[in-house]
Amino acid sequence: CISITYSSDTQLLIPLQNQSEDSSEDEASGATEMDFLRNLFSSTLGLGSVEKVLDELNLEGLARYIQSGKCKNIVCMVGAGISTSAGIPDFRSPGTGLYANLQKYNLPYPEAIFQIDYFKKHPEPFFALARELYPGQFKPTVCHYFMKMLKDKGLLRRCYSQNIDTLERVAGLEGDDLIEAHGTFFTSHCVSFSCRKEYNLEWMKEKIFSDDIPKCDKCSSLVKPGESFPFSLHVIFVKSISLHLSLVSKSCPRLLINMEKAGQADPFFGVLDFGGGMDFDSEKAYRDVAHISTCDEGCLALADLLGWKGELEELVNSEHSRIEAEDQQEKASGAAGAAAETGTPRSAPEDKTTDQQTND
């Protein structure tokens, strides 16, 4: 398994697991726990040493590991940093981050905007953010399409995302490919545990852009994108993502793509090889790689080493062209509908042959 991680703002974390694809998740979980305990006792009691998983603790060593055939399942954990090149600000950058722009709402701390208890009392900040990030205003990045390539090559086990911009879906991840920790705009639910009525994307879009706070037409409780399970389960679910890094097998390489090193083990627990944090620089380091760059640059560099760079660039260009063409068609349809309602003459229709060639 390789684990690629992005932090909440800029990083990508990838664990790369080498278990066979037909193994059950229960078996994988059990093996991981046993492997964790075995290595914990071994390292703590001095009964053995952990062998290096990568021949070099850098992107080149990681690429060789993937090409060796040992890598069967890649897990990506991503945050806001993978969407900044799409034009979406990250959360914490001073002065320009989304949280800075929401300070007029006096958030007690940045993460409050995603917490259901705070949302129930103060829904305004969340929906202000929702208007900024609403689907259809941005195109996926190189990093999003790198994960789509992993899927197409049969290597992506799952992507865990903290983002609500839905760009993973736009890039082509769906179903079991994707876990959205903070929900998705594609479905919304009443937050009342006794109601839970579901609402679709168009209903939520109308509410968000009319500046109305969405409320359930059945019970008058608030409606929130992605809230399909109770708060207690939501907390457990989100925390399980942050713990995923420490639950992967000891033989699982982990890659961090970030503008600085992050997620490192506490020095005390690191001596005992306990706690699951990243170890990039100590004498005991054997599997963790930190690549200091933007997410797009890191993914392009890894794709280049894997011989996929041309394929990735072609995928990004073709998908962006497709999205732009669909946007233009949608705008033209909207303008035509408005013209019909107001009696304004329509523009001359374009040549159908040209349209067909463009679509092809």
Annotated binding site: 190, 195, 216, 219
Distance from C-alpha of 130 to C-alpha of 165, rounded to nearest angstrom: 9
Q: Check if the beta carbon of residue 16 is closer than 8 Å to that of residue 2.
A: yes
Question: Which position among 122, 144, 182, 291 bears the catalytic label?
Answer: 182
Give residue 180's Cα distance to chain centre.
7
Beta bridge partners of 292: 258
What distances in angstroms separate CA 57 from CA 62, 92, 198, one per listed residue? 7, 29, 47
Residue 295 in 3-state DSSP?
helix
The strand pairing partners of 290, in sequence order, are 256
CA–CA distances in Å: residue 330 to residues 151, 334, 337? 29, 6, 11
d(CA 244, CA 255): 14
Distance CA 288, CA 261 (A): 11
- Which residue type sits at 102? L
Let me know the angle formed at the C-alpha of 202 by 199 and 204, rounded to the nearest 5 degrees. 55
Rounded to an integer, what distance in angstroms lies between the CA atom of residue 294 and that of residue 299? 9
182 in active site: yes
Structural tokens at position 139: 């195109």
Helix axes 295-305, 59-67, angle to 10 degrees: 50
Residue that has been written with the tokens 């705009």 in this structure: 185
* 226 neighbors 180 (Cβ within 8 angstroms): yes
Calpha distance 224→191 (Å, rounded): 7
Show binding-site residues for Zn(2+).
190, 195, 216, 219
Q: Which residues are catalytic?
A: 182
